[in-house]
Structure 1
Amino acid sequence: MLWIESLAAAYGQSQALQDVSLAIETGEVVTLLGRNGMGKTTTVRAIMGMLGPVGGRVTGGRIAFDQAELVGLASHVIARRGIGLVPEGRQVFPTLSVEENLIATARPGRWDLDAIYALFPRLRERRANAGRNLSGGEQQMLAIGRALMTNPRLLILDEATEGLAPLIRAEIWAVLERLKGEGQAILLIDKNLGAVMRLADRHVIIERGRTVWTGDSAALAAAPHLREQYLHV
């Protein structure tokens, strides 16, 4: 499905990614792990064709989705190919209502308004509220719902539960478990190592813009030195 090989990217003269490689197969949940500033969000921006607006560019390597090259494509073209993004910081449309946020980028498919409201009943209750008037947890639900409304084959979540209250985090994890059970492919960035180890099929650790380790949860659990060296857990 998604295949990244030796990806390199820069902001101006500063090389942000040196050699990132990862792969996600249909129905897999894969995490991208690493300390802050190691290149996780830059990798996501490169996948989505969003480096240009923040002064960055891909300088090497390949990104392919269903064997078609993504590097050089506009972000809206990449999204239409079947990749949905829940960005860091949520980035909901602040002046649009919940319902307007959901339908703004909707594409036909299984995920429609009724399905999203069933997944997140709180959004139905607040469907007329402006995005800026929602709590942080509600905005994250909205960001996930908006991405699902594109009916993506691959869902990317950057910092899925950061800064959320424990009850909201638990609700988000339950939703991700459900999506995995339904065969949704997911690329996930999150600092909650215990939760991601329970959810994910495989993990990719990056350090200073390089992939330094790839393996499943059992292998990561058996390697405390990796967690200490690269994740500070």
Structure 2
Amino acid sequence: MLSVRHLQASYGAAQVLFDVSLDVGAGEVVTLLGRNGMGKTTTIKSIMGLLRPRGGDIRFDGAIVTGLPPYRVAQTGIGLVPEGRQIFPTLTVEENLVATAATRKGARRWNLKEVYELFPRLKERRNNLGTQLSGGEQQMLAIGRALMTNPKLLILDEATEGLAPLIRAEIWSCLKRLRDERQSILVIDKNVDVLAGFADRHVIIEKGCSVWTGTSAELAADPGIKERYLHV
């Protein structure tokens, strides 16, 4: 479904990505792991067209999407839950959800009713402005907003960062439901232990290069991998 090969990216003269490759298959959950500053968010920005790559190849559903503007990437069927949530602060919960709604051939039909069933708290606060929500509610809204695009692939950048433990558990429960429904997911999060029980495969980035990829079983079988690449 998603294929990234030898991706390179820079911010001005400062090169951040040197050689990142990863794949996400249909119905698969893949994580992007690595210490802070290693290039995970830059990889997501490059995939989504928010940062134009300086080299490499990005394909989605067999079509080249390298360098396309963000709206064109979204139209191919990729939904993003960005770092920092970035909901529309002056719109209500329901307006946030409706603003991104789209139908997509061959994709599940997400609508308000289904999003409210996934996140009942959003239904309770459907008339509240984005600025009136807690951090956890904003993250639920960001996920719901991405689902309303009916994505073939859902990307989450820092899925539970800064959330209280109970809210974090609720988010993971909802994401596991999406996984069980065969939603393709690419996710960044710092909770490696939860990700190991959630995802099919993992890709580790170190200094702008993909340095390891493998299954959860392979990650658990070699504690040295986490020690080498993930511990601060």
The aligned amino acid for 1:68 is: A
The aligned amino acid for 1:167 is: L
Q: What do the CA deviations read for 1:35-81 (whole angstroms, capped 9, x no partner)?
A: 00000000000000001xxxxx3111100001111112110111011
Equivalent in the alignment of 1:46: 46
The aligned amino acid for 1:206 is: I
SS of residue paired to 1:58:
coil
Shift of 1:89: 0.3
SS of residue paired to 1:21:
strand
Residue 167 of structure 2 is aligned to residue 172 of structure 1: no
Structure 1 ranges of 4+ moved more than 6 A: none
Shift of 1:153: 0.3
> 1: CA distance between counterparts of 2:193 and 2:153?
23
Equivalent in the alignment of 1:95: 90
Structure 2, gaps ≥5 residues long: none
> 2: CA distance between counterparts of 1:36 and 1:103?
34
Equivalent in the alignment of 1:148: 147
SS of residue paired to 1:228:
helix
Shift of 1:215: 0.2
Matches within 5 A, 1:74-93: 74-93=69-88
SS of residue paired to 2:80:
strand
The aligned amino acid for 1:146 is: R
Equivalent in the alignment of 1:14: 14
**How many residues matched?**
228
> 2: CA distance between counterparts of 1:208 and 1:67?
28
Matches within 5 A, 1:111-130: 111-130=110-129
> 2: CA distance between counterparts of 1:158 and 1:218?
23
Residue 126 of structure 2 is aligned to residue 159 of structure 1: no
Q: In angstroms, what is the RMSD of aligned CA positions? A: 0.8
Equivalent in the alignment of 1:61: 56
> 2: CA distance between counterparts of 1:34 and 1:72?
24
Shift of 1:224: 1.2
> 1: CA distance between counterparts of 2:195 and 2:39?
19
Task: State TM-score, norm by structure 2.
Answer: 0.97
Shift of 1:83: 0.1
Shift of 1:223: 1.3
Equivalent in the alignment of 2:216: 217
Equivalent in the alignment of 2:190: 191
SS of residue paired to 2:38:
coil
Task: State TM-score, norm by structure 1.
Answer: 0.96
> 1: CA distance between counterparts of 2:207 and 2:163?
27
SS of residue paired to 2:149:
coil
Structure 1, gaps ≥5 residues long: 52-56
SS of residue paired to 1:215:
strand
